[in-house]
Amino acid sequence: MEPDQHGNRKRMAQVTGVFEITPVRRSPEDILPNGDPREQRVPAPVAQNKWVSAGVTDNPDVMIARAFDEAQRRDPQHETDWVVLVDGNNAQIKSIQDEADRRDVAITIIVDIIHVLQYIWKAAGALHKKGDPVAELWVRDHALNLLHSRTTQVIDSIREQAEKAELSTSARSQVNTCLTYLTNKTPFLDYATALENGWQIATGVIEGACRHIVKDRMDITGARWGLDTAEAVLKLRAVRTNGDYDDYWAYHLAKQQARIHGTRYINGEIPQLR
């Protein structure tokens, strides 16, 4: 058997971000309106002063520490609320908690509501026939309860329905996956408090960065990347997105001039041509 010629063909890019918001108090019904066009909805808080970082070579701990560095630069005295939005990865959450402890800063971790709803939809697919319109209403009811921080009620309701239904092994496994996820992530699903405090509950900033920094460049047809080249491109795209490209390029040119020419002249002073 010949060795696999496609080993390590795929590499997951990592993206972190820091941004600020003016809190906007909302209710769960603002997130999931009843469909009445006359209903006035409170808009979500808008992300401002966004900063992103992306890479494929650094481990998650390094990326998370870098994001904390940026947050620390903005709020050195920890005078504002630090809210960390995540997709639910356990290792990521542990690293975030460790970094916060190391810096002695209080944080609130919130799992992205969209990610949570994906698990609710998986359970819905197991408990309802394909295409059943009732499934959408079922998901909406559970989503509204989650937004009210009634996670235990949602878990109990889904479990009870699954026990009464005659599910196949695979369908029951789907439901169990959802229940396990909700149970394990309960400490990070307090959406009612987050909405009351005016915080965001979804990772739209990061999802957008993943698209325009990573996917739009790295995932084009026929592209082939080495790790070092991919890392350099991602760093440059992040720098440009952050609005720092001009400062970076001036710094780069100065360093390049010093590196290539500086050692060739007395005292490292490069003569200026006029």
CATH class entry, domain 12-31+41-112+202-243: alpha beta
Distant-in-sequence, close-in-space partners of 272: CB < 8 Å, separation ≥ 6: none
For residue 35, what pLDDT band results from cuts at 50, 70 and 90? low
Mean model confidence pLDDT for the chain: 89
Among 78-82, 128-132, 219-223, where is mean pLDDT lowest?
219-223
Question: 97 to each of 103, 204, 205, how far by Cα in Å?
Answer: 10, 22, 21
- Give this prediction's pTM: 0.84
Predicted pLDDT at 2: 39
Q: Is the pLDDT of residue 43 over 60?
A: yes
Q: In this prediction, what percent of the chain has a pLDDT beyond 90?
A: 65
How sure is the predictor about 37, in pLDDT bands with cuts at 50, 70 and 90? low
The domain limits of the chain are 12-31+41-112+202-243, 114-186
Mean predicted confidence (pLDDT) in 94-106: 97
Is the per-residue pLDDT at 7 higher than 70?
no
Q: What is the pLDDT of residue 34?
A: 74
- Residue 242's identity, in one-letter code, is N
pLDDT given for residue 5 in this prediction: 46
- Provide mean pLDDT across the span 145-173: 96
pLDDT: which is higher, 266 or 60: 60
Per-residue CA distances from 274 to 7, 256, 261, 264, 271 (Å): 54, 20, 17, 19, 10
Q: Identify the DSSP state of 40.
A: P
pLDDT higher than threshold 90 for residue 163: yes
187-229 residue pLDDT tens: 999 999 999 999 999 998 888 888 889 888 888 887 788 888 9
| Beta-carbon contacts of residue 11 (< 8 Å; ≥ 6 apart) | 56, 227, 230
